[in-house]
Structure 1
């Protein structure tokens, strides 16, 4: 599981990702947010509602780390989905304000988390066991990829290199541990090996591309047409 060490560099990445998102949505109107996003079945309003609710949900995990009192990210999937649906009916200005305010509150909570809490064990909604260092990656990943999902002119290739590489390493880490991944090797266009998947360590067919194109494919944001795969792209199980 990919983690980020807390400190100015990590906090800067999170602030930058939030700022990029907020700049992209600040002028959205009611008609804009009712339009479809790139996520099946979700409008832009659904994505914004999710982002607004996700920040306090992750803060609940930080509260768990700080206090030692088990504080689930969500009470249930049903409650999570209902909150998103309710929020998606709000006017655009309210949604943007919720995303902005929740991002600011999240950032303050992270930057003031006591040092011992960073080593505490928490369990996100996905069931993985981790520390708040992992929560930083989850938040960065959500901000970066959901900005693309909003379909407001931002692509995976627009994610700054440092943030992009963190998210790519995170997705690769997921598939390295996932069941049903066929053997194959991933390289960048300059030949650097990023990962080998599948049992046996034989490497299998090779897939190569730029980090941005690889992230777009691994995360399901592109079909992989920009990648070089002489033997065809392997079929991957769904990512979270």
Structure 2
């Protein structure tokens, strides 16, 4: 198996996240992000530790030695909390270093290892080829969450469409697909009775739980939808 096509999306996503990070001064790190209860500092720590967790999965694929993303839920939280205590310059450097470690792991993975089976933190078995997409979700969405002037309009349409596909797949796995049909331009998702339409970035923000549906239209108001992840 050759390298996944989503690698190009991932590279662009890391650049976009880096753009958002670069717009923040050190003094702005401890301000709230757009995620309720998360400071920017905590969000950046989360993104850094996620990169290392995905390196673990790629090491598993490369060596065949089971290497979970995190040793335990407690270890995951401890790693994020410790990184969040770093000074702003140190945390900025740690985010970049962790991204570099992930890039090295991606580039160093033999083609045949992309088909190896690994397991997500939620216990789902996936091929290693899904790892770049898992990171895409993190960096694109959290670039917006940093509240540093990056929005879903800055994300390529095909990446946004893939995110929305992912949202509906997640709902389907949990048997939580809402009774909606969603339209964005010539794109359509869902088969429900409640029609919701609007620009693609507004749809992406709503379905990923980042907005309440501002910029969208529906006959009887914008319905609430389940959480994505």
Aligned partners of 1:119 and 1:131 also within 8 Å:
yes
Q: How does 1:72-221 map to 2 (within 5 A)?
A: 72-190=68-186, 192-196=187-191, 203-221=192-210
Compute the displacement of 1:27 (Å).
5.3
Q: CA deviation at 1:15?
A: 1.7
Q: Indicate conservation of the 8 Å contact 1:29/1:93, yes or no.
A: no
Match of 1:41 in 2: 37
Aligned residues: 228
- 1:228 is matched with 217
**TM-score, normalized by length of structure 1?**
0.87
Choose which of 27, 30, 55 in structure 1 pairs with 2:26.
30
Q: Distance in 1 between matches of 2:189 and 2:122?
A: 25
Does the CA contact (< 8 Å) of 1:187 and 1:195 recur in 2? no
How big is the shift at 1:142?
Answer: 0.3
Structure 2 CA distance, aligned partners of 1:193 and 1:22? 31
CA shift for structure 1 position 214: 1.2
Q: 1:170 to 1:182 in 2, by over 3 A?
A: closer
Structure 1: state its 5+ residue gaps.
197-202
Mapped contact 1:171–1:218 kept (Cα < 8 A): yes
Q: Secondary structure at the match of 2:181?
A: strand
Report if aligned partners of 1:185, 1:193 keep a CA contact under 8 Å in 2.
Answer: yes
Gaps of 5+ in 2: none
Where does residue 6 of structure 1 map in the other structure?
3
Q: TM-score, normalised by structure 2?
A: 0.91
CA contact (8 A) 2:54 2:131 kept: yes
- Paired with 2:76 and 2:39, the residues of 1 have a C-alpha distance of 16
Query: Which digits, 9 at most, give the CA deviation of each residue in 1:177-211, with x for residues without a partner?
Result: 33333322222234x42233xxxxxx322122222
Q: Which runs of 4+ in 1 moved over 4 A?
A: none
CA distance in 2: counterparts of 1:25 and 1:114, whole angstroms = 31
